[in-house]
């Protein structure tokens, strides 16, 4: 974890005595919703030269050199693997960095549910149909009622998805790093024991963070252990699923289909086998639609600014040793 601690956060009692709002910078785009969020969190918008914190709404290329007095940076993305490809964390060991993890969870979970239901109910086949053929399609139409859905990576997205699945009669197995029970899940399993859940899984939703340790977390043997009706949905990062193994499993009928909002490679090139397989749904990484990103991020900014001002624990602190 970053060397900075909550002891570096502003002392709320000191702030109250001096009546000086905590100065926080915003950049590089300076969206009005974000500046308003900083104010609603109890801080004042200021220049980076005098700021105690920075709300960053840009990419890695333009990230500034941080002054020594900056103690916290709020990044605008939930996935931060691209930040680990830079030297930002190493160059600023005194700074607490937070991601937007969980800020977009409801939207992404809704998209995951859409992909899963569309697959289970054979929507791709219906959309391609040019004639009335219920006798052919009906035997393959499934349901989530009494189905077991394994959520691989039961963080913000997984926790948002569980209450969407349970009213439909699905049972959830949550997989997380430690095996700590997840509210609403029938069972929670540590990722080290994930191989034990495949035989009990009807459908799989991948929502884990992308780190070197999670690349191809769902590989050939995992797909082989699933069922011919199983749909695999990935709303995390493309390389958590072994693409070549998935293509082979789809062609062999080892699994029922895949619903992908992320791919490996991404963008998925024209002519890739996944485009032509009938039991595949691909959306272009839009589970978190652009028009919802800034408003959702603004809510996180306001919440974390209020916590920073009060000297409280921040949401989404990045652990640089774990990679997320």
pLDDT digits (tens, 9 = 90+) for 94-141: 999 999 999 999 999 999 999 999 999 999 999 998 999 888 888 889
User: Angle 290-310/32-40 helices, nearest 10 degrees?
Assistant: 30
The per-residue pLDDT for 55 is 98
CB-count exposure of residue 286 (10 Å: 0-12, 13-18, 19+): exposed
The per-residue pLDDT for 138 is 86
Average pLDDT, integer, range 52-79: 96
The per-residue pLDDT for 262 is 98
Residues 301, 320: Cα–Cα separation, whole Å: 21
pLDDT at 82 over 90: yes
> What's the count of helices (H) and strands (E) in the chain, helices before strands?
12, 12
What domains are there in the chain, each with its CATH number?
6-103+290-310 (3.40.50.720), 105-282 (3.40.50.720)
The first and second tokens of residue 124, run together, are 């791709």
pLDDT at 278 over 50: yes
Q: Which of 4-8, 98-102, 233-237, 306-310 has the lowest mean pLDDT?
A: 4-8
Residue of 56 and 133 predicted with greater confidence:
56
The first and second tokens of residue 256, run together, are 């029922």
CB-count exposure of residue 68 (10 Å: 0-12, 13-18, 19+): exposed
- Cβ atoms of 176 and 121 closer than 8 Å: no
Residues 104, 89: Cα–Cα separation, whole Å: 23
pLDDT at 2 over 80: no
Residues 27, 101: Cα–Cα separation, whole Å: 19
Cis ω for the linkage preceding 28 (within 30 of 0):
yes
Is 266 part of the annotated catalytic residue set?
yes
Average pLDDT, integer, range 256-271: 98
Residues of the chain above pLDDT 90, percent:
89
pLDDT at 58 over 90: yes
Mean pLDDT, the chain, whole residue set: 93
Q: How confident is the model at residue 9 (pLDDT cuts 50, 70, 90)?
A: low
Handedness of CA 189, 193, 196, 197 (dihedral sign): positive
Catalytic-role residue among 266, 272, 293, 299: 266
Residue of 223 and 3 predicted with greater confidence:
223
Catalytic-role residue among 140, 216, 285, 293: 285
Of 116, 117, 132, 124, the residue nearest 278 (C-alpha): 124
The per-residue pLDDT for 19 is 61
Residue of 134 and 272 predicted with greater confidence:
272
Is 285 part of the annotated catalytic residue set?
yes
């Amino acid at each position: 974890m970053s060397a900075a601690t909550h002891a570096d956060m502003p002392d709320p009692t000191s702030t109250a005595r001096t009546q000086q709002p905590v100065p926080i910078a915003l950049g590089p785009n300076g969206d009005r919703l974000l500046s308003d969020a900083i104010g609603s969190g109890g801080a004042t918008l200021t220049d980076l030269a005098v700021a105690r914190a920075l709300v960053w709404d840009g990419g890695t290329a333009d990230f500034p050199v941080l002054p020594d007095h900056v103690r916290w940076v709020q990044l605008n993305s939930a996935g931060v693997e691209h930040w680990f490809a830079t030297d930002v964390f190493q160059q600023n060991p005194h700074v607490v960095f937070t991601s937007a993890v969980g800020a977009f969870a409801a939207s992404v979970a809704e998209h995951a549910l859409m992909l899963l239901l569309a697959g289970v109910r054979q929507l791709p086949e219906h959309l391609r149909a040019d004639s009335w053929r219920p006798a052919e399609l009906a035997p393959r139409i499934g349901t989530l009622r009494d189905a077991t859905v394994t959520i691989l990576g039961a963080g913000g997205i997984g926790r948002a998805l569980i209450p969407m699945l349970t009213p439909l009669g699905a049972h959830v197995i949550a997989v997380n790093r430690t095996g700590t029970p997840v509210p609403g899940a029938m069972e929670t399993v540590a990722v080290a024991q994930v191989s034990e859940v495949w035989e009990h899984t009807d459908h799989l939703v991948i929502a884990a963070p992308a780190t070197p340790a999670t690349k191809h977390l769902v590989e050939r043997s995992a797909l082989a252990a699933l069922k011919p009706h199983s749909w695999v949905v990935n709303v995390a990062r493309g390389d958590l699923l072994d693409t070549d193994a998935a293509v082979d499993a789809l062609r062999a009928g080892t699994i029922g289909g895949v619903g992908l909002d992320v791919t490996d490679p991404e963008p998925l090139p024209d002519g890739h086998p996944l485009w032509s397989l009938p039991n595949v749904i691909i959306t272009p990484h839009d589970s978190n639609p652009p028009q919802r990103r800034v408003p959702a991020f603004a809510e996180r900014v306001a919440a974390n600014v209020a916590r920073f001002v009060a000297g409280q624990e921040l949401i989404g602190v990045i652990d640089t040793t774990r990679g997320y």
